[in-house]
Amino acid sequence: MTMVPLDPSSKPTSQRLITEGDTVVVYERHDAMRAVAVRAGGVLQNRFGVFRHDDWIGRPFGSKVFGSCGGGGKAKAKAGGGGFVHLLAPTPELWTLVLSHRTQILYIADISLVVAYLELVPGCLVLESGTGSGSLTTSLARAVAPHGQVHTFDFHQQRAASAREDFEKNGLSSLITVNVRDVQGEGFPEEHCGAADAVFLDLPQPWLAIPSVGSMLKKDGVLCSFSPCIEQVQRACEAMKTSFTDIRTFEILLRTYEVRDVALKSVTSEEACVGPLPQKRRMLTSPGENTGCTQRSSSILVRPCSTAKGHTGYLTFARLCV
Amino acid sequence: MDSTPPPPIRREAWEGCSVLLDINDGDRLAFFRLTPGATVKIGNKTCSLQPLVGRPFGSLFRLGADGLVPCAAGDATSRDHNTRDGADGQTQDETRDNRSLVDNNTAQNLSSDDIEAMKRDGATGDEIVEALIANSSTFGNKTVFSQEKYKLKKQKKYAPKVLLRRPSARSICETYFKKTPARIGFMRVDTLSLLLSMANIGAYSDVLVVDMVGGLVVGAVAERLGGTGYVCSTYLGSAPCSIDIIRMFNLSSDMVSRIVQAPLSDLCSMHSSGNTPSLLNGGAEGEMVEPAVVPDEDAQASVAQQVDTAVSDEKAQLSTDQPTDMEVSEPSLDEHPVQDENSSLDGKGSDGNLNASKSSKAGKAPSPEKMKYWKEHGFSSLIVAAPGHEVEHLVADLLPLLSYSAPFAIYHQYLDPLAKCMHSLQVSKMAIGLQLSEPWLREYQVLPSRTHPHMQMNAFGGYILSGIRIHNTDCMIANK
């Protein structure tokens, strides 16, 4: 199975059962997942127990599977005998959460904005540099599949090789070509001249590659440059002025919320009635609510999660002048 | 590439296609269909849109004596006024300021009669702007930035520019969000992008969609499918919601044929689980199906107006833009941003293979084979955008229609309905990886020595609840 279906039969459905050779995302918790290649006789051991791959084969994706004893202790006890995990079909979003970080990677908020602003649709040809850990590359591949192409370039031989391996394992080889090339120094290869629908740059000195991008893009094609620092953005924007238009720079962050079923203490309860503020508030509650009921029924409350990313990078988009 | 598919994106406007016109750098944004009789009114002049046919998207036009004329290639860059001025602006030390400016209306020596005379003599807009600058006694005392601002203001009045933009999910969402945000449930473009990513939309997906945002989501999904897979737009009650916005996308007939519509009751009854859908047997039904959303919509419209006002304030400050059209407050909210009254909506009278004619075929009922397939295999993704509805029960009915491990993304303009929905999914254990999130998007002005975030930003683009449907343990035990 491939992460991005290349034909109607290769997508995961409820009828598609886990088979040997599949990659599954083992979901322990929202912040604890890993990709596992399923093989006969294989064993996964984690804090929730010992899981035999053989027990997974033949089950649908999305199944909950229980581990046997022998794993770590406390979580197992909590789960009541045997710990469990869920086996998920891999998607580019899950891949971003489980891939091995060889570089800083792009996360979903930036990725989704990049794909939308690059106006990628199936069949597009997109160029990317550098490849990094392949987080964005995987989403680019999904956007242009089944007939489009992603040509990605990294000057780091080892990194390119690892990325190529990952794409291979995820069944994306027919969509992604990984090349070793110093795009800052050499530009993109001539063969893509005037053929690219979109170009993405994540380079330390993007302005060096921008003239080359200008010759790669189709007219009205979109360039995106991702930079963590504003100084990089400034120089990149300067370089874009000669042949690009519609130059816009954004910062996108994702604020997440936690939801709890909470029973807030009522101000009418005895212990709460100290100090001037509760007294004042009590006057606002209707008499009916006061009588006899000191415990309010619980309600669903929401608040932002206290930890969040404060900055990822600036996204600058521009269109090649017509 | 084994086969030779057509280019994924047509980069020139063609007869009968949908186009987005950006008049005077965002002052006015409107969709048009390039039918032979289509016109646009600019100032007091009505111009045919025929000169746009065959021109590349991204082309800039000016108002000539006989209508729209393509600008010379060099002018194309000149539309980025705020970036263009930077080069000279920063290098010279700015010592001028506004200390000597007096607002007594005597600065301009050219009278309106003089200007009219120039026009009669055939002066171009740019020449009039030059003349106005030459005859302004205060122009030389202004700062470089202020001079640019003045020039722009005059240009917009005397030398309007029309930019031909390609309608895409991005530009369509941005346009509606700017002009009639209530129509699309206040869904900002970054939020729409996240919905598509979180729901894993790609080729060959079978996407179940509840679209109460005018068809924006259905269109965006169809664009990502590229004529593969299906987008099944489902609805409550007996009449589908309008998905008219899909007409703004230039969807090919292949892509349009992948859009089907089915009432939720049909989809639920096809599902063999035996569970009666909670929405469909009394209780919530009346509430859900009644057009209770209509007064709501009105309320939103007034909010929308406020939002738009805020936008225009921003534009005024940034000097690159004038207030946007305030068409949002007008009664026919639905059709307003789209001025295609010149073309019949279903493309009659125009070329048979135009998208317009195909658009009317969008939303057929899915074939029985397809229904059977979805019953057995499940949908591969779900997106719900029902910003005026309670979603907890709706989602409870929809999730069983998904295949196991399928991701979903629920949009809402309010946080509470999603919080309730998330909590009930946590309790029912129908899904994992639940995340309630809100994107925050800030745009920057990037100029040498003058880089900072825009003074005004849009502070709200909607909330998303995302997650992954799992194989229910109860079912698993029952199956074994």
The answer to whether A55 contacts chain B (CB < 8 Å) is no
Total-model pTM: 0.84
Quote the pLDDT of residue B1: 44
Closest chain A C-alpha to B100 CA, distance in angstroms: 33
A vs B, Cβ pairs < 8 A, gives: 256
CATH annotation of A16-69+83-90: 3.10.330.20
Q: How confident is the model at residue A16 (pLDDT cuts 50, 70, 90)?
A: confident
Query: What residue ranges define each of the domains in chain B, with the CATH number in brackets?
Result: 12-78 (no CATH), 112-158 (no CATH), 169-270+359-478 (3.40.50.150)
Choices 1.20.1070.10, 3.40.50.300, 3.90.226.10, 3.40.50.150: CATH for A95-254+310-320: 3.40.50.150
Burial class (CB in 10 A: 0-12, 13-18, 19+), B157: middle
Cis-peptide into A146, omega within 30 deg: yes
DSSP string, B154-173: HHHHHS-EEEEE---HHHHH
Q: What is the 8-class DSSP label of residue B323?
A: P
Reply yes or no on whether the pLDDT at B343 is more than 50: no
Interface test mutation site (partner A, options B177, B196, B254, B404, max chain A beta carbons within 10 A): B404
What 3-state DSSP class applies to A64? strand
Contacts of A89 in chain B (CB under 8 A): 405
Pairing of strands B45-48, A149-154: unpaired
**Long-range pairs for B112-118 at CB < 8 Å and ≥24 separation?**
B115/B158
SS3 assignment, position A191: helix
Write the pLDDT tens digit of every residue in B196-250.
999 999 999 999 999 999 999 999 999 999 999 999 999 998 899 999 999 999 9
One-letter-per-residue 3-state SS of B200-222 = CCCCCCEEEEEECCCCHHHHHHH
User: Which of A 3-42 lie inside 8 A of B, CB atoms?
Assistant: 4-8, 10-16, 27, 30
Residue A174, annotated as binding a ligand: no
Q: Where are the domains of chain A?
A: 16-69+83-90, 95-254+310-320
**Mean pLDDT of the B51-67 span:** 93
Among B203, B434, B468, the residue with its CB nearest the CB of A5 is B203
Closest partner residue to A14 among B193, B196, B377, by Cβ? B377
Contact: B419, A230; criterion CB under 8 Å: no
Of A117, A259, A314, the CB nearest to B436: A259
**What average pLDDT does this structure show over B160-166?**
95
Where would I find the H helices in B275-292? 284-289
- Which pLDDT does position B296 carry in this prediction? 37
Is A262's Cβ below 8 Å from some Cβ in B? no
Alpha carbon distance A115, A109 (integer Å): 10
Instruction: Identify the pLDDT of residue B74.
Output: 58
Both structure tokens of A17? 């059962």
If one compares A264 and B391, the residue with the highest pLDDT of the two is B391
Of the candidates B180, B194, B225, B460, the one whose C-alpha atom is nearest the C-alpha of residue B362 is: B225
Taking the Cβ of residue A124 and every Cβ of chain B, the question of whether any pair is shorter than 8 Å is answered with yes
C-alpha span between B304 and B301 (Å, rounded): 5
A265: which strand partners?
A295
**Assigned token pair, A197:** 């629908």
- The yes-or-no verdict on residue B251 having pLDDT over 90 is yes
Asked if pLDDT for residue B327 goes beyond 80, the answer is no
Cβ contact, residue pair A62, B471, below 8 Å: yes
* Alpha helix segments (H runs only) across chain A: 53-56, 74-78, 92-98, 108-117, 135-144, 157-169, 183-186, 210-216, 230-240, 276-282, 287-290
Query: Which secondary structure element, helix H or strand E, spans residue A247, and what is its range?
Result: strand A244-262
Q: Which of A5, A197, A302 sits opposite B419 (nearest CB)?
A: A302
Interface test mutation site (partner B, options A98, A177, A218, A302, max chain B beta carbons within 10 A): A302
Least confident residue range of A166-180, B108-122, B324-338, B398-412: B324-338
Q: Annotated binding residue at A202?
A: yes
CB-based contact A321 B77, cutoff 8 Å:
yes
Q: Extract the tokens encoding B477.
A: 């035990």
Q: Is A166 annotated as a binding residue?
A: no
**Beta carbons within 10 angstroms of residue B103's beta carbon:** 7
Q: How far, in Å, CA of B241 to CA of B218, rounded?
A: 11
Residue of B nearest to A115 (CA): B193
Kindly report the nearest CA distance between residue B60 and chain A, in angstroms: 9
Find out whether A81 is annotated in a ligand binding site. Answer: no
Compute the average pLDDT of residues B285-311: 35
Q: Within an 8 Å CB–CB cutoff, is residue A214 touching chain B?
A: no
Q: Report which residue type is found at B111.
A: S
Residue with tokens 């999910």: B169
Nearest 5°: phi and psi at B229?
55, -160
The most confident of the ranges A62-71, B20-29, B358-367 is B20-29
Does any CB of chain B come closer than 8 Å to the CB of residue A58?
Answer: no
Closest chain B C-alpha to A64 CA, distance in angstroms: 7
Mention every residue, 6+ apart, whose C-beta is less than 8 A from residue B98. Answer: B142, B143, B146
Q: Which residues of A touch B82 (CB under 8 A)?
A: none
pLDDT tier for residue B363 given thresholds of 50, 70 and 90: confident
Residue A134 assigned ligand-binding role: yes
Q: Tell whether ipTM is more than 0.85.
A: yes
What six digits make up the tokens of B108? 């301009």
The token pair that represents B55 in the structure block:
């021109």
Among the partner-chain residues A4, A108, A250, the one whose CB lies closest to the CB of B197 is: A108
Q: Indicate the residue type of A75.
A: A
Contact B243, B362 (CB under 8 A): yes
Q: What is the pLDDT of residue B355?
A: 41
Question: Residue A80 annotated as binding?
Answer: no
Chain B contact probe: residue of A147, A247, A251, A312 with most B CBs at under 10 A = A147
Residue A295 — pLDDT band, cuts 50, 70, 90? low
pLDDT in tens, B252-285: 999 999 999 999 999 988 765 444 445 554 433 3
Per-residue CA distances from A40 to A171, A193, B56, B323, B347 (Å): 20, 47, 56, 65, 58
Q: What is the mean pLDDT of residues B295-323?
A: 34
pLDDT band with cut points at 50, 70 and 90 for residue A111? very high
Cβ atoms of A267 and A285 within 8 Å: the answer is: yes
> How far is CA B232 from each of CA A12, B262, B318, B379, rounded to the nearest angstrom?
18, 7, 42, 9
**A157 has a chain B CB within 8 A of its CB:** no
Nearest CA to B225 among B254, B260, B187, B266?
B254
Q: How far is A274 from chain B (nearest CA, A)?
A: 31
